[in-house]
Amino acid sequence: MAKAGAQPHPSDLARRYAAVRGTTEALAAPLSPEDQTVQSMPDVSPTKWHRGHTSWFFETFLLQPELDGYDVFHPAFAYIFNSYYETVGARHPRPERGFISRPGVAEVADYRAHVDEAMDRLMAGPLGNEPAALVELGIHHEQQHQELLLMDIKHVLSRNPLQPAYAATPTVRAEEPGKPGWIEHPGGVVEVGHDGRGFGFDNEFPHHRVLLTPFCLADRPVTCGEWLAFMDDGGYQRPELWLSDGWAMVNNQGWEAPLYWFRDDPLAWPGGHGTGGPEQWQVFTLSGRHEMDPAEPVCHLSYYEADAFAHWVGARLPTESEWEVLATVVPPAGNLLDPGVLHPRASTDAAFYGDVWEWTSSSYCPYPGFRTAPGAVGEYNGKFMVNQYVLRGGCCVTPADHVRATYRNFFPASARWAFSGVRLARDL
């Protein structure tokens, strides 16, 4: 569930709703109906499912209970597009979303239009505080799925032997940023968590105090060039660097590089015309396959890989509280969702936001005093607070007005398909 301070004016809420819904459609527009139906692994959802699910959210939690005379678009959609809300009803198995050839893309578009028209009517009338808070939650929920849509279609396209581009965006290579600087903090008792001003997800609350020992964080994420040095030093072959479960993943999955890194072998992929030697690495991006740029932040790493790298350099991963207290005082910078970029880029600024989500060493668990909200929306975050780690800061496919210093993303330690990278920490 969401928590917030003063609710936006209804007209502002309606404009924001329309803008976010339009962004989702714009992100799906480059994709064919066939692209939008594929599910390349159990964690990936088809594009059309994301478009349908976000509409189902508004239909289920707002239109049915709040709009008199609302006609449900299709009774079976409650089963097809429910994600994990067990208290709402039965749902189609997540790993089998790619089996659903119907409804097709056109019918999903009709569903979205049906929901949008009804939401316009709902927001045109008097809107109480609780429905307004649900609209705001639904908007941020859809922004989460915009990021997921791009994460997921990247994986889908990478599995296609043609390795097609989602969109033609320019490749920008940067100069090596040099060694990272370090931002120091004296430690002590600090306040973290959402303070109640503006929107926040329930897992960002309550505001509370933590005790930190003196520490410092790198002023930028780890780069591809630095990761290549780790690989060249046998990083994926040295068990002493890895957590036990991580070493098992390396061996069971055959990891030897980040996800979407490939050798520059013209025979290994259709249309390959690499310019480097046999050891040159290529990276698959949303704009197709390119030579790895040593200056850009390394991306698509699991927690296990991030932790192993930190051990290799004699550092560690930051806690989420350490990350948050410095992010609140460093000016926001970095590359967030821009349809003309869609890939991490090197920056000379001390960026704490954008480019790559940054793994922390903090387990995803409730803050002291956290309480799950009653009803179905209480299933939004609390039920996942186990066996996962927190990431902070947003990435190159995160909407700019969606991320904030207190935002807690979370994934299992083995997850690699998110735009996830590394920022190092050290004790002082």
How far is 227 from 222, CA to CA, in rounded Å? 7
205-221 per-position pLDDT tens digit: 999 999 999 999 999 99
**pLDDT exceeds cutoff 80 at 273:** no
Q: Give alpha helix (H) positions in 220-356.
A: 224-232, 244-253, 303-312, 320-327
- Count of Cβ atoms closer than 10 Å to residue 198 Cβ: 14
Lowest mean pLDDT among 194-208, 343-357, 398-412: 343-357
Token readout for 111 is: 């569903």
358-374 per-position pLDDT tens digit: 999 999 999 999 988 77
Q: What is the mean pLDDT of residues 97-119?
A: 97
263 versus 73: which is more confidently predicted? 73
Packed helices 10-28 and 129-158: angle between N→C axes, nearest 10 degrees: 10
Predicted local distance difference test score (pLDDT) of residue 28: 98
Confidence of residue 104 (pLDDT cuts 50, 70, 90): very high
Mean pLDDT taken over the chain: 91
381-406 per-position pLDDT tens digit: 678 888 999 999 999 999 999 999 99
Confidence of residue 275 (pLDDT cuts 50, 70, 90): very low
The DSSP bridge pattern shows strands 288-291 and 281-285 to be antiparallel
Task: Name the percent of the chain lying above pLDDT 90.
Answer: 81
CA angle 409, 215, 238 (to 5 degrees): 70
51-64 per-position pLDDT tens digit: 999 999 999 999 99
CA distances from 142 to 20, 160, 294, 334, 354 (A): 7, 27, 33, 22, 19
Predicted local distance difference test score (pLDDT) of residue 267: 45
Q: What is the mean pLDDT of residues 412-426?
A: 98
Length of the chain: 428
Q: Where are the domains of the chain?
A: 2-158, 182-427
Predicted local distance difference test score (pLDDT) of residue 264: 63
Q: What is the mean pLDDT of residues 93-114?
A: 97
Q: Which secondary structure element, helix H or strand E, spans residue 371, and what is its range?
A: none
Domain boundaries 182-427, CATH class: alpha beta
Domain boundaries 2-158, CATH class: mainly alpha
Predicted local distance difference test score (pLDDT) of residue 376: 60
- Phi then psi for residue 407, to 5 deg, are -65, 130
CB-based contact 116:73 (threshold 8 Å): no
Predicted local distance difference test score (pLDDT) of residue 272: 39
Cβ-based neighbours of 412, under 8 Å, separated by 6 or more: 303, 387, 388, 389
